[in-house]
Structures are given as C-alpha cells and as structure tokens.
Amino acid sequence: MVAIMLLTAGPSAHAVTVEGVTFAETYQVEDTELHLRGSGLLRYLVFIKAYVGAFYLLPQEDARQALGPTPRRLELEYFHTISASDFADATRQKIADNVTADTLAALSARLEQFNALYRDVQPGDRYALTYRPGDGTELSLNGTPLGRIAGDDFAAAVFAIWLGTDPIDNDFRDALLGVQ
C-alpha cells in the first residue's frame, strides 16, 4: 500500500520545499525555461518516506502533454539507500506496465542501455531525467550527467513510470502534474 503526501505547484509557482528538500521554481534546458508543475512525497507502506519529486514542463503546456514531444524534467531525491540493480528491475517492470509488448520489444536495447546508467544511491542523492525533443532523455545523478538515450518513444516510456496510465502511484502522478 502506498500513501502520498501531496504538495502541488501550478505553472507560476515559487520554489517549493517537500520534507526538507527544496526544488527550484524553474529549470533551464539550453534556451528553454521549464516551470515547476508539481511536487510530492511518495510513501511506501504508509509510513516509510521513499522519495520526493518535482516535475517541470513548459509553462504553456497542459499536464496532458507531459508524455508528448515537449521538453520536461523530473527530479527525485531519495531518503534510503537503493541499489542500481533495484532501479533497473523497477524500471523494466514499470515500463512494461505502461507500454504494449511490441513497444517494449522496440525499446529493449535502449532500455538496457539506460538501466546500465544507474548507480547506487544514498539518502540525499538526487536523480534527474531531462528530455529534450530530438536530443533524447538524459539521466543525471546529483547534477552529473550519466548518459542520454535517444527517442521520443523512449522518453514517453520512461516518464510513464511516474506520469503514465499505470504509474508507480496515481496520487504521486497527480501531485507531480499539479492536477488534484
């Protein structure tokens, strides 16, 4: 059972602090400024704080465009140690939950390249996924780029882990999208 503490921010929001973790109001992707759309705390088994997250999107974009070909960024800061292999296993499973078998097959090589980028995290570490149309999805850890995977289809699949029709948690998705 997963419970969520929701803190949201609309397109014109200021920086937000969730469980002592601060997320900026905006994020610059080359010449494009993304705005904080929403944030929240994901709890596992009601009382375990897993991580906090923040989602950034163009200010004029509707939340329904979150998986479309538009620049976006997701930041997740962790409260517990998690192994790279656990991240890879969860990524495989949640992408499989959100795409068709044919799409999963088409993504398989890139998914394994992406999973190889993961590193073990400690409390306070922050992963970020940043998508730039035509350039791909970059994974970074604590501000250090780990690699980039090409394809709009890959970006849609990996962001669907949190924002798709079968996300890690519906309430957390809604908090990130600011659509409560």
Stretch 171-176: mean pLDDT, rounded?
A: 95
pLDDT at 8: 38
- The highest-level CATH class for domain 29-177 is alpha beta
Give the helix ranges, DSSP H, for the chain: 84-98, 101-115, 152-163, 170-177
Query: In this predicted model, what pLDDT tens digit does every residue of 70-84 receive, in sequence order?
Result: 999 999 999 999 999
| Residue-range domain boundaries for the chain | 29-177
Residue 3 reports pLDDT greater than 90: no
> What phi and psi, each to the nearest 5 degrees, are found at residue 148?
-135, 140
